[in-house]
């Protein structure tokens, strides 16, 4: 389906009507309620080889994009797209001696994979997608790949929680996040549902425990103010990162979405995001994308609708009212908000049907 056809279909089908079809889409012959948006996303961000392209970042690809794309393809029942992304990823990012993926691929660089470190969120979504697709598409051999990734995530990215015996942290990567007295973590890498699903499916108890500990850690961070992009964890406690962004920005705005998708509607990381001092939702077509960690003041905004989709869905959950202000999908938005937009649609359909877009 070309972009012109997708735009026409999106315009002709109100999002509320698409979402209202959610209860029956799984019936044989029924279209998925966000099928048109998925086709638009593929047209904008996926090439024929299976590479998800982040045009805003210099046309690079990364394990996050491949994992996100495969998660979407599995949910949409799109086996050809899934297999194309899987093949490209295995050929280009599966270059480490372990089962994890190199985090970034740059098409114009002499060595497209100049840094072989992994990004644990990309590995997490990649393995989660493979685990689910092994069942959905009847490809049991994919379980072996998902299990290998899960075990190496547990071995290389799950570490002891400083000062808490028997508790664990989930590191952003295998290397580069150690401090003299602790670690640096990224709260948005904690997709609790994926961590729990993989850990339970493949016998990785430390990953399951890290998810439970992460649940508590995120709640504590939320009670301190806007959940930051990066946090230092030492025996002395939690503190804002000195190396990376301490504000609540483009990384942390995923946290409420992951809480919704993990079926945690009362989690402080979701509910405190909508106190006046930490509000992410603005009037009109603006969404807050960077919030000051000290004051909660909005530092940056965006008109890209994917960010509003996340904040509007979260607001609906917190306010416990039927209907949400989630905007229609815009095929012209960039990779990151476009992907979060589709994730928000899927989370709404799977977890909170009462928050259908108005």
**Per-residue confidence band for 321, with pLDDT thresholds at 50, 70 and 90:** confident
CB 277 within 8 A of CB 296: yes
**Per-residue confidence band for 272, with pLDDT thresholds at 50, 70 and 90:** confident
CB 149 within 8 A of CB 100: yes
Is the model's pLDDT at 182 over the cut of 90?
yes
pLDDT at 29: 42
Task: Say which residue the tokens 């003041």 belong to.
Answer: 297
**Per-residue confidence band for 7, with pLDDT thresholds at 50, 70 and 90:** very low
pTM for the model stands at: 0.91
pLDDT at 18: 39
- Please give the share of the chain, as a percent, with pLDDT higher than 90: 80
Number of residues that make up the chain: 358
CB 129 within 8 A of CB 70: yes
Mean pLDDT of 296-316: 94
Task: Say which residue the tokens 């050809």 belong to.
Answer: 80
pLDDT at 283: 63
pLDDT digits (tens, 9 = 90+) for 65-112: 999 999 999 999 999 999 999 999 999 999 999 999 999 999 999 999
Q: Which domains does the chain have, with CATH numbers?
A: 3-355 (1.50.10.10)
Q: Where are the beta strands (DSSP E) in 206-267?
A: 231-234, 237-240
| Cα–Cα distance for residue pair 142/146, rounded to 1 Å | 6
301 Cβ contact list (under 8 Å, min separation 6)? 282, 286, 287, 288, 289
131 against 18, higher pLDDT:
131
Task: Report the chain's mean pLDDT, rounded to a whole number.
Answer: 90
- For residue 48, give the 3-state DSSP assignment: coil
Mean pLDDT of 172-183: 96
């Amino acid at each position: 389906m070309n972009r012109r056809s997708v735009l026409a279909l999106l315009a002709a089908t109100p999002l509320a009507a698409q979402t209202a079809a959610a209860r029956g889409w799984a019936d044989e012959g029924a279209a998925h309620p966000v099928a048109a948006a998925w086709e638009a996303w593929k047209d904008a961000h996926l090439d024929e080889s299976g590479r998800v392209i982040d045009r805003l970042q210099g046309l690079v690809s990364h394990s996050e994009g491949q994992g996100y794309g495969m998660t979407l393809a599995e949910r949409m029942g799109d086996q050809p797209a899934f297999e194309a992304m899987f093949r490209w990823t295995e050929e280009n990012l599966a270059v480490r001696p372990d089962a994890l993926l190199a985090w970034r691929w740059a098409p114009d660089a002499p060595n497209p994979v100049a840094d072989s470190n992994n990004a644990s969120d990309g590995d997490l979504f990649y393995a989660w997608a493979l685990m689910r697709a092994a069942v959905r598409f009847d490809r049991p051999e994919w379980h072996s790949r998902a299990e290998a990734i899960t075990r190496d995530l547990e071995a290389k990215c799950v570490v002891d929680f400083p000062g808490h015996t028997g508790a664990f942290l989930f590191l952003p990567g295998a290397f580069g996040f150690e401090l003299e007295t602790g670690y640096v973590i990224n709260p948005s890498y904690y997709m609790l549902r994926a961590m729990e699903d993989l850990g339970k499916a493949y016998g990785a108890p430390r990953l399951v425990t890290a998810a439970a500990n992460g649940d508590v850690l995120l709640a504590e961070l939320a009670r301190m103010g806007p959940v930051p992009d990066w946090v230092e964890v030492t025996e002395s406690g939690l503190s804002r990162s000195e190396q990376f962004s301490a504000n609540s920005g483009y990384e942390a705005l995923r946290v409420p979405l992951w809480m919704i998708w993990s079926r945690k509607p009362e989690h402080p990381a979701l509910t405190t995001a909508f106190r006046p001092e930490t509000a992410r939702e603005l009037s009109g077509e603006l969404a807050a994308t960077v919030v000051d960690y000290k004051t909660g003041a909005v530092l940056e905004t965006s008109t890209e609708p994917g960010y509003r989709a996340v904040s509007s869905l979260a607001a609906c959950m917190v306010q416990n009212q039927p209907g949400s202000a989630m905007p229609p999908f815009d095929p012209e938005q960039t990779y990151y908000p476009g992907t979060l937009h589709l994730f928000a649609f899927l989370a709404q359909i799977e977890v909170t049907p009462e928050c259908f877009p108005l």
